[in-house]
Amino acid sequence: MLLTLAGGALFFPGLFALCTWALRRSRPAWTDSDCLMISTRLVSSVQAVLATGSGIVVVLSSCSDVVNGRHWLAREYVWFLIPYMVYDSYAMYLSEWYRTRDQNHGHSTTFRNFLSQNRLMITHHAAILFVLVPVAQLKQQHTLLYKVNGILTLTTFFSCRILLFPFMYWSYGQQQELSLLQVPFNIPFFCNVANAFLIAPQIYWFYLLCRKAARLFDTPQAKKDG
């Protein structure tokens, strides 16, 4: 755990510094702000590739218990992710400071502007650090926070992954003055087929989430009676 945490703390800032140095050497015409922005995005891309690769390894690995099973890579990568979230927040602020330093803003003004312009990303990073990490590492499935997080996950998944499709049909119907039920018969057939292929796995994944939620909210007495 500590080794993974230390590795992330060295890897991401080190890669950022290396990318910035390489860009300054290879692109002397670029400003410091340009070099920092590109470096930040390069490191973010590397993290995305590592996270995706880890997810693929975890998914493809055999697991006898899909609900309670734990893969060592999923556990360790959470610790590897903590330094990235801290680094990325600082790197984004550093890019903002270099971008606006010619305007003679102090650090306090730049910081306020940074929070105002990146509130969604900062909220995302903070949620991972203060919600995801404790839930994933401390096995707090019994806590109210974990259950509230589960409800929010179900709600957002259903709204953004499933309701999106009827909403698209409804929006098209509003534009063409058609009812929702008339839309499938007034668009190309392949559109319906493509949407069916897209929504089918979403429904299946939502079903799996609901099954896990049902187990989460199962009371000991209900398990005993069952």
> Which of 17-26, 45-54, 163-172, 214-223 is the most confident on average?
17-26
CB 161 within 8 A of CB 206: yes
Is the pTM higher than 0.85? The answer reads no
CB 104 within 8 A of CB 26: no
User: 155-162 long-range CB contacts below 8 Å, 24 or more apart?
Assistant: 157/205, 157/206, 157/209, 158/206, 161/202, 161/205, 161/206, 162/199, 162/202, 162/203, 162/206
Q: What is the pLDDT of residue 129?
A: 66
Q: 10: which 2 tokens?
A: 């060295």
Q: pLDDT digit string (tens) for 114-148?
A: 777 777 777 767 766 666 666 556 555 666 666 77
Instruction: Pick the more confident residue, 224 or 57.
Output: 57
Q: Residue 221 — pLDDT band, cuts 50, 70, 90?
A: very low
- In a 10 Å sphere around its CB, with 0-12 CB exposed, 13-18 middle and 19+ buried, how is residue 16 labelled? buried
Q: pLDDT digit string (tens) for 2-28?
A: 788 888 889 999 999 999 999 999 988
| Mean predicted confidence (pLDDT) in 59-83 | 71
DSSP letters, 22-73, are HHHHH-TTS-HHHHHHHHHHHHHHHHHHHHHHHHHHHHHS--S-TTT---HH
Q: What is the pLDDT of residue 11?
A: 92
Q: What is the pLDDT of residue 23?
A: 92
The answer for residues whose C-beta is within 8 angstroms of residue 96's C-beta and 6 or more apart is 110, 113, 114, 117, 118
In whole angstroms, give the CA distance from residue 124 to residue 115.
12
User: What count of other Cβ atoms lies within 10 Å of the Cβ of residue 164?
Assistant: 14
Q: pLDDT digit string (tens) for 139-191?
A: 556 666 667 777 877 888 888 788 888 988 988 888 888 898 999 999 889 88
